[in-house]
Amino acid sequence: MQILVVEDEKRLAQALRQILTEQKYMVDVVYDGNDGLDYALSGIYDIIILDIMIPYKDGFQVAYELRRQKIDTPVLMLTAKDTIPDKVSGHNSGADDYMTKPFAPEELLARIKALTRRKGEVMMDETDFGDFNFNASTCELSKDSKSVRLNFKEAEILKLLLANRDAIISKEDIITKVWGYDSDAGSNNVEAYISFLRRKLHFIQSETEIKAIKKMGYRLEQCHD
Amino acid sequence: MQILVVEDEKRLAQALRQILTEQKYMVDVVYDGNDGLDYALSGIYDIIILDIMIPYKDGFQVAYELRRQKIDTPVLMLTAKDTIPDKVSGHNSGADDYMTKPFAPEELLARIKALTRRKGEVMMDETDFGDFNFNASTCELSKDSKSVRLNFKEAEILKLLLANRDAIISKEDIITKVWGYDSDAGSNNVEAYISFLRRKLHFIQSETEIKAIKKMGYRLEQCHD
DNA sequence: TATTTTTTTAAGGCTTTTTTAAGGTTGACA
DNA sequence: TGTCAACCTTAAAAAAGCCTTAAAAAAATA
């Protein structure tokens, strides 16, 4: 699933990239309308996130030109909060949806899902890592014939670990993503759940480990003897 | 089975609602092309009944836009008797069938059945799962010689569970698909019906279980001793 | 209208998840 | 080697989510 982000505001662009790559989307970011149109015309994207106020060509022009050239990649327009008239232009100019800045990551992801669902692409939610397999739609963790069901938080944490494959994910990240933004969960909560996960991995006799890196976070590692 | 009616003529809209709800379809009615498109884009409907002459956006535009956005919900267009050329446009613009006003309720229902059958959305009448069998057209749940009749909502929920065989289906999904989009049914409603279903499964001495996964939803599981 | 069936609501009990807390390990570093 | 901070594990308490049931309300049916 490939996403093109056309956004000149560097901070926002960076935030978008992070949010999206975390969800395992492949992301390309460009910073103005000319590049945006060039990239978009390739037709390889599943969705285009397009700010309206960008250099050279604005979002409307890009979207309009895209449609004129029969590229029907869904376009999600980003617009400043107070520009109501933009909604109309947005809908006329080939945008499929629009969203006002600022927005919650969840909202962005929801809209992306709505737009891509229409393409009829069913997301596959089986993941392999090392010697085990995790089925996100049933929350089942399995190796060979053994399997256990993970509960909600265990599953969320494992998904995060899997999404970050060979990077280290910090406890703070885990807390904000699983417990939420303003929860008062402490690091021991994460530790407890990591412990539960380890027990279940051990139960299915997986050799994969959840490694702790002091002061940094956790990371999945397959055992390499 | 959810149907969207887009019709500005209030009397006709009301008649349609009545005809359809009598047949136990879940019906939403909106009165112009803008609302029609918005609602239709949700993708939750099994069929859309779309008048051509409606305010803001006509039926063609709505259907066209729907298809462009990859929503392939079947569209049944309504048109005045004498506008023959519309037929052609209708077929080009994404409509799956059209019907001239006025029409007999039976004709409407027949066409609806035809359209849904075509999409293969109607569940095969007979479904086996684990040790039981469910006949969707008679709503009979049976195992060996024992059988019970399910009522409407029980049947709808069981169909959902069967359609999602190897995934967990959330309560929210169940609510929106069985009670409808904007109902105020709470999660306890689902719980109660799940309980009824369990009792009936038990009554026919099936070993199959409806398993609850906290915070996630429900899932059918055959007993594996 | 009376009767039956379906649907909703509410409450108490039960199970699982989540949090908390306390004591145990580990490894870096003086 | 001893100290300390960070992390691990576990038991048990607390909370949340789900189950079941009865009874009330609504709807369908006779």
Would you list the domain boundaries of chain B? 2-118, 126-221
Integer Cα distance of A35 and A27 in angstroms: 15
Domains A2-117 and A126-221 share a fold: no
Tokens 């003529």 appear where?
B9
Report the distance from CA of residue A116 to the C1' of nucleotide D12 in Å, as an integer.
Answer: 46
Question: Which one-letter DSSP state was computed for residue B169?
Answer: B
Q: Which chain D positions come under 7 Å from a protein C-beta?
A: 6-11, 17-22
Closest-CA residue of chain B to A119: B70
Which A residues 145-174 have CB within 7 Å of strand D?
Answer: 171
Q: Mind listing the pLDDT tens digit for each residue in A112-169?
A: 876 765 443 334 478 889 899 999 989 999 999 899 999 999 999 999 999 888 789 9
Phi-psi domain of B36 (left: phi exceeds 0; alpha: psi -120 through 50; beta: other) = alpha
Mark yes or no for CB contact A149/B213 under 8 Å: yes
A14, A20, A72, A77, A86 from A4: Cα distances, Å: 13, 10, 14, 12, 21
pLDDT at res. B205: 92
The shortest C-alpha distance from B215 to chain A (Å) reads 6
Task: Report domain A2-117's class.
Answer: alpha beta
**Do B223 and B209 touch, CB atoms closer than 8 A?**
yes
Q: Mind listing the pLDDT tens digit for each residue in B14-44?
A: 888 888 887 888 888 899 998 899 888 877 8
What is the percent of chain A where pLDDT is above 90? 35
Instruction: Residue A6: name the closest of A57, A70, A44, A64 by CA.
Output: A57
Integer Cα distance of A160 and A94 in angstroms: 35
Instruction: Residue A130: name the closest of A92, A157, A162 by CA.
Output: A162
Please indicate whether residue A43 or residue A117 has the higher confidence score (pLDDT): A43
Domain A126-221: CATH architecture, name and number where available: Orthogonal Bundle (1.10)
The shortest C-alpha distance from A139 to chain B (Å) reads 8
Domain B2-118 belongs in CATH node 1.10.645.10:
no
Tokens read off for B203: 């009554």
Q: Mind listing the pLDDT tens digit for each residue in B148-190?
A: 999 999 999 999 998 888 789 999 889 988 987 667 888 999 9
Report the distance from CA of residue A220 to the C1' of nucleotide C29 in Å, as an integer.
Answer: 28
**Do A141 and A158 touch, CB atoms closer than 8 A?**
yes
Longest alpha-carbon distance in chain B: 66
